[in-house]
Amino acid sequence: MTERLEAFFAALPQEVAGQSPIYALELRNPELLTPRLMRMLARAGIRYCVGLHDRMPEVERQEAALKALDGEEPGPLVVRWNLHRGFLYQAAKQRYEPFDRLVDEDVETRRVLARMAASAYKAGRKVWITANNKAEGSAPLSVLELARDIAKTIA
């Protein structure tokens, strides 16, 4: 599988409308998060997308994999905060609808993401973090709280 992914990434355009795109790979299967995959991503110039999903390892383990990928030259931080740990997608959807409030605040995940984002920002790296309504109950409110935490961490 790693060889097929590497061939796919090699076929992607290196420039789009005069810009160099940033490609990232998000996993949904923890067994794929291996040193071999990280080495391939490094060779291909592809970012690992920290995927916060119930099936994936905790954010700290994924952060360690990202550090192994980066070595001495860290790249942009790409995170997708999908699902509150311990919930399946449909259960989270039912629990959180209509997605207008934070139902299950995940203060620890926000703290780690804020630290990671602040560190990347201070190092002059680009940061992309997206949140899903199923992370805490309301993606806009999760992002607002995360932004506040990042600002406190940077200050």
Distance between CA atoms of 38 and 48, rounded to whole angstroms?
Answer: 8
- Quickly count: other Cβ atoms within 10 Å of residue 109's Cβ: 20
Residues 24-69 pLDDT 10s? 999 999 999 998 999 999 999 999 999 999 889 989 889 988 888 8
Task: Give the CATH fold of the 2-154 domain.
Answer: TIM Barrel (3.20.20)
Q: Evaluate whether 99 touches 137 at the Cβ level (below 8 Å).
A: yes
Give Cα separations from 63 to 112, 113, 138, 151, 152 (angstroms).
9, 10, 24, 20, 21
- pLDDT at residue 143 tops 80: yes
pTM over 0.75, yes/no: yes
| Structure-block tokens of residue 147 | 């932004």
How far is it, in rounded angstroms, from Cα 104 to Cα 136? 5
Question: Which pLDDT band holds residue 4 (cuts at 50, 70, 90)?
Answer: very high
What is the C-alpha to C-alpha distance for residues 51 and 26, in angstroms, rounded to an integer? 6
Q: What is the pLDDT of residue 71?
A: 77
- Residue 85 C-beta-side C-alpha neighbours within 13 Å: 12
